[in-house]
Structure 1
Amino acid sequence: MRVLRLRRIEFNVIRHLPFCRDYTDVARSSGVSLSSVPRVLSSLRSKFLLRALFDLNSMGFSLGLFKVRFSEELYQKPIPFVLEKIPVSLGKSELSLLLLALCPAGRCSDVADILKSEEYTSLAGRFLWRSDMPRDAVLDGGYLRVNFDSIREIMEREISPRISAPVKRKPDYVDLWITAELMRDPFVRLSKKAEEMGLKQQTASYHYNQHVRPLHLFNVLTPKFRSLRVPGILLELHTSRESSEQVAWGLSLHPMIRETLVSEDGRVYVLSYIQGSDLFELYRFLEESELVKAFTYRGVLIHEVLEYTLPFGDAFREDPYNLEVMYEAIYTPRQPKPQWHVYRIGDEQALGQ
């Protein structure tokens, strides 16, 4: 499958990017000159979404997947605590919007009530492609190539790694802001952003080093599938609870699988953009694998999957889990003074009210 075209220097960088925290880390680990790092990252951002992944559970959040009726207004409107909007079609008039949302203190039922969700499931895990795995990824004629047989072997023979933060911490409003900045750009200059926010550089540095950095698991790259003109599908896999995370982790090793989501009852949702012979290999694996009991086609991923950061702003000074902000964002007119913001990942401007 010849889709993701990379230069050798870009390939060398992405193989080391997950655990880099600054430009010096990138240069040292990949062998690229420090002066070349900004240019290479700029080129990669034209092809991928690059962002930091955090241990949200250690911040007091759980994840839920909520199904609502699709509307253009809801699709475009930023909503605090909603991390992704996934438009799904089963036919011309069968449109749904799946919302991947944060549930403060496990309050998924409260979030479902606010969203007026038709159905929802609490999630036990979320897996995104780590560009340092699988280890046999190669450049084939300038295109990134991952052998699906190697993914199958890794899934069946290796144990999915558990990476979690060393601490649990309730974030304050400064932590939320820094986390949002890193979620959209893990190499952002926080000193410059702190000045724009009216914060002292020392304050931003303290919160980053003491509160936020320990919760930063690794960086992830996701191809910009819309620009590749590659259609996506949503699959639902039925597995045992014991093997669900193993299956989800294994499938997420393929760069053309946007992500996998694990429900608490053992179902695995796969957002796949795999094409060509690899798609045949995927279906064959699902049919033959003893880890997968059954799988169902849930629809086509229409439009673009929109992804957002954690919310931040004055609305969270007293309570970082303030769900009233979510309700107001959906059902009340705009406030005269901005109270909260989110970034849509891939955009520069903060959104919110």
Structure 2
Amino acid sequence: MGLIPSFFLFEDRGYDLKDFKKPYVTTIGKVLGEKEYFFVKATIPQEHLDEYVGIFGAEPELGEIGLIEYYWEPYSPLTIHRRNHLDVDLKNFIEVFEKEASKPQIFTITQRLPVDEIDLYIIKEKMKNPFKSLTSMGKIINRSQQLISYHFHKHVYPLWERNSIMIFQNYYRTPLSLHFLEFSDTKSARGFAKTLAYLPYTHIVLLSTSRPFLIYIGTILQERALDLMRIISQLRKKDYIRYYRFIGYVDPDYFKEYTISFRGVLRAGVWSLPATKSLDDVAEELSFPLV
């Protein structure tokens, strides 16, 4: 598709959510900690990378362009399925991490696949409801089921990497938190990213493609927080982790997720940058139960 996952952190200078509602943004959050920040996750057209940061009218404290996304999967080696809840197996965290870090990295060459407005509409609808039928999509936009099916199987399905599963929880009682970690090498960073994704309360792990650095957003339960900090301490002493920073807690009242930008962003099959448009003009907000 030619969209590059990216992340930006802005120190709050009296901003509001609407200041970051720009095309191609998929997540906006406000973080409360030593300082107050807004963070933005966006999927930026490759041809607009150089000019995109300026769309916010502010200089980010951190900008990472080019990220690999990791999500929790229910059949992970560090997830314990109990009768009424899920728990984590942190006793084996370092063992699993070292195993993941030792695995050879497999590089794959992917071809950029072109998309059109119908493809983007299907992706948007599947992001909102992965079980929505192609027939119902066709009826909404007055297109035949055959045409929608063709676009889905020929264009959308090859782009569909995975479905992610999210555990609904009360983010006022157990808020999401934002963490940055830098590692001694790319193998350690990749191994730690994969291991974090085995924890059931991980929201997302973002691994930089340009340096051994990752961004973690997840819920660290109070009864597990000390154990996880001890793991980070041990890996720091072993020189796996060079830098760790806790940014703060995500305020649920200022946390929004959006579909792919799909409306009015293509011109003759090429991504445009409609800088004057709001995110609400080109995308739709995803329902995100906070309690």
Give the drift of 1:147: 0.8
1:124 & 1:74 partners in 2: Cα distance?
Answer: 24
Give the drift of 1:317: 5.0
- Does structure 2 conserve the Cα–Cα contact (< 8 Å) formed by 1:61 and 1:106? no
Q: In the TM superposition, what whole-angstrom CA distance separates every residue of 1:205-260 from its partner, at most 9, and x where no partner exists? A: 00001111111122111223445621232111111233222211211211212111
Is residue 152 from structure 1 mapped to residue 94 from structure 2 by the alignment? yes
- Does structure 2 conserve the Cα–Cα contact (< 8 Å) formed by 1:81 and 1:311? yes
Amino acid at match of 1:113: G
Out of 217, 220, 223, which is 2:167 matched to?
A: 223
Q: Which residue of 1 aligns with 2:219?
A: 273
Out of 73, 76, 97, which is 1:130 matched to?
A: 73
What secondary structure is seen at the aligned counterpart in 1 of 2:162? strand
Is residue 262 from structure 1 mapped to residue 207 from structure 2 by the alignment? yes
2:270 & 2:125 partners in 1: Cα distance?
Answer: 16
What secondary structure is seen at the aligned counterpart in 2 of 1:311? coil
What secondary structure is seen at the aligned counterpart in 1 of 2:143? coil
Instruction: Name which of structure 1's ranges 243-252 and 217-226 shifts more when overlaid on structure 2.
Output: 217-226
Q: How does 1:220-299 map to 2 (within 5 A)?
A: 220-226=164-170, 229-239=173-183, 240-263=185-208, 264-289=210-235, 290=238, 291-299=240-248
Question: How has the CA–CA distance of structure 1 residues 146 and 63 changed in structure 2, closer, same or farther, with 3 Å as cutoff?
Answer: same
2:255 & 2:73 partners in 1: Cα distance?
Answer: 19
Q: Which residue of 1 aligns with 2:259?
A: 309
Out of 110, 113, 123, which is 2:54 matched to?
A: 113
Amino acid at match of 1:344: E
Q: What is the Cα-based RMSD across aligned positions, in Å? A: 2.7
Out of 114, 128, 137, which is 1:170 matched to?
A: 114
1:201 & 1:90 partners in 2: Cα distance?
Answer: 50
Give the drift of 1:164: 7.2
1:138 & 1:262 partners in 2: Cα distance?
Answer: 25
Amino acid at match of 1:65: F
What secondary structure is seen at the aligned counterpart in 1 of 2:29? strand
Instruction: Name which of structure 1's ranges 309-318 and 94-103 shifts more when overlaid on structure 2.
Output: 309-318
Q: Which residue of 2 aligns with 1:82?
A: 25
- Does structure 2 conserve the Cα–Cα contact (< 8 Å) formed by 1:235 and 1:297? yes
Amino acid at match of 1:308: Y
Amino acid at match of 2:149: S
Amino acid at match of 1:114: I
Q: Higher helix fraction: Structure 1 or Structure 2? A: 1
2:120 & 2:107 partners in 1: Cα distance?
Answer: 21
Out of 251, 262, 271, which is 1:321 matched to?
A: 271
Question: How has the CA–CA distance of structure 1 residues 106 and 277 changed in structure 2, closer, same or farther, with 3 Å as cutoff?
Answer: farther
Structure 2 alignment gaps of length 5 or more: none
Q: In the TM superposition, what whole-angstrom CA distance separates every residue of 1:54-109 from its partner, at most 9, and x where no partner exists? A: xxxxx21112212334633426x753200111211235xx4221110111116433
Amino acid at match of 2:277: A
Out of 95, 102, 113, which is 2:43 matched to?
A: 102
Q: Which residue of 2 aligns with 1:212?
A: 156
What secondary structure is seen at the aligned counterpart in 2 of 1:329? coil
Question: How has the CA–CA distance of structure 1 residues 66 and 108 changed in structure 2, closer, same or farther, with 3 Å as cutoff?
Answer: farther
Question: How has the CA–CA distance of structure 1 residues 168 and 73 changed in structure 2, closer, same or farther, with 3 Å as cutoff?
Answer: closer
Amino acid at match of 1:288: Q
Is residue 184 from structure 1 mapped to residue 128 from structure 2 by the alignment? yes
Q: In the TM superposition, what whole-angstrom CA distance separates every residue of 1:103-155 from its partner, at most 9, and x where no partner exists? A: 11164331101122422221331211122323x63332311122123343222
Question: How has the CA–CA distance of structure 1 residues 288 and 330 changed in structure 2, closer, same or farther, with 3 Å as cutoff?
Answer: same
Q: Which residue of 2 aligns with 1:337?
A: none
2:105 & 2:84 partners in 1: Cα distance?
Answer: 30
Amino acid at match of 1:133: S
Give the drift of 1:285: 1.0
Amino acid at match of 1:329: K
What secondary structure is seen at the aligned counterpart in 1 of 2:28? strand
Q: What TM-score do you get using the length of structure 1 for normalisation?
A: 0.70
Q: Which residue of 2 aligns with 1:344?
A: 285
What secondary structure is seen at the aligned counterpart in 2 of 1:109? helix
What secondary structure is seen at the aligned counterpart in 1 of 2:233? helix
